Amino acid sequence: MQKRENEVRAILLTIIISWLFQNFIDAARTIYRPHDSQLPRIIVYWPNDSQRYILRDSHLEEVSIFKKFDRDYFENHMIPHVPILYRNHPDISVEGEVLSKLLEEFLEELRRTKVNKKEFKNFIVLKSRDFNFKECSGLIVLKFKDYPFVIKLFIENPRSFIKPFSKGIEPGFFFIMGGGINRYLSGFTRVKNLEYINKRIAEDDYWKKYIDTPRKWFWQPCNNAWFIIEGDNIGICNHQSIMVPSVYGIVCDAIESEGSLRLVSKANRRLGIRLSHFFGCRVDPHIDNFVIEQETHKIVLVDTEHFPTMVGLQEPLEFDNYFSWYYQLSWKYACNKYGRSKSMRRALQCKEVSELAFC
């Protein structure tokens, strides 16, 4: 096992060094080098604003940029303003409007903050490595101090949206692998994929005794600003566009856990792989995504992001151990980054997308 872990680390280190070297080379290219007229391009801007922000990149794909946001679904799955019962204490509730008000106050506090903080007035930061505090963009995960709920908050603007490598190395990897995807766009898949996961669990007499998920709702602030994304040379259309919210969040139950499954445990590794196959590779099998809930002792799947969206899968991965899983993902990144000719990249824009790629 230790040998395999060292091999995985070596593969990932090689990919990281190659990624940094390639970006150094890209930055050193002359500004006078002519642009490929057929290179995929997105143009992002605020309505009624003449400023345009442009990103040209061969990895941009239609399904990743323009097929993840469903406005009707988004607006029909907002956090309710009626009382929300606590997950394991149905005799206690909180008004959805109270949670929304606290989030509005936090958003104002966050916009005034330009440095990384671990705690705010009404929230504790659980994760901020994919958030750029200076530009106030990216993904930040918070827990309400006084209520058993967590918020995954996504913030983007036209300028930050076309800077996929400004929020850390990991989002850069996903951008290359997932056809230009980012955490902001993939976040829209979390609620819809949760419905698929819950349906899959409910239909299985064995797993429904042992597996559970947190409830999830979308949230957006009052008077939310929206921006426009336009695309050229992406997919089979000559031109397409979409309008998306600059700020939105996903409110979900906080899970009080006894800890996550452990990679060092052979039984836990087998369980994680088994669950990944059970869900048709639609969930990230990373072992930390499966936690043991204190009160129910059930395995709770806390991350319901659509995994094929993040890594650009067209077919489920076939693997029976985590070494194989890490290796295939590393190899896919290398092929996406360095293994596509110009003709292959152009043909990819016209290729039919598999059902797995859609959430």
What b/e sequence results for 103-140 when a residue is b if at least 16 CB atoms lie within 10 Å of its CB, and e otherwise? beebbeebeeeeeeeeeeebbeeeebebbbeebbbbbb
> Tell me: the pLDDT tens digits for 45-55?
999 999 999 99
Model confidence band, residue 352 (pLDDT cutoffs 50, 70, 90): confident
What percent of the chain is modeled with pLDDT above 90?
Answer: 71
What CA–CA distances, in Å, run from 259 to 55, 147, 157, 279?
41, 20, 36, 22
Model confidence band, residue 23 (pLDDT cutoffs 50, 70, 90): low
> Tell me: the pLDDT tens digits for 71-110?
999 999 999 989 999 999 999 999 999 999 999 999 999 9
**Tokens 């409007």, located at residue:** 97
pLDDT for 163 equals 92
Q: What is the mean pLDDT of the chain?
A: 89
Model confidence band, residue 17 (pLDDT cutoffs 50, 70, 90): low
Model confidence band, residue 261 (pLDDT cutoffs 50, 70, 90): confident
Please give the single-letter amino acid code of residue 175. Answer: F
Bigger pLDDT: 239 vs 26: 239
H/E element holding 268?
Answer: helix 266-278
pLDDT at 22 over 60: no
> Tell me: the pLDDT tens digits for 158-193?
999 999 888 778 888 999 999 999 999 999 999 999
CA 157 and chain centroid, separation: 17
Locate the domains of the chain by residue range. 37-345
> Tell me: the pLDDT tens digits for 272-298?
999 999 999 999 999 999 999 999 999
> Tell me: the pLDDT tens digits for 221-249?
999 999 999 999 998 877 899 999 999 99
H/E element holding 53?
Answer: strand 53-56
Residue 272 neighbours by CB under 8 Å, 6+ apart: 261, 285, 286, 287, 290, 322
pLDDT for 214 equals 97
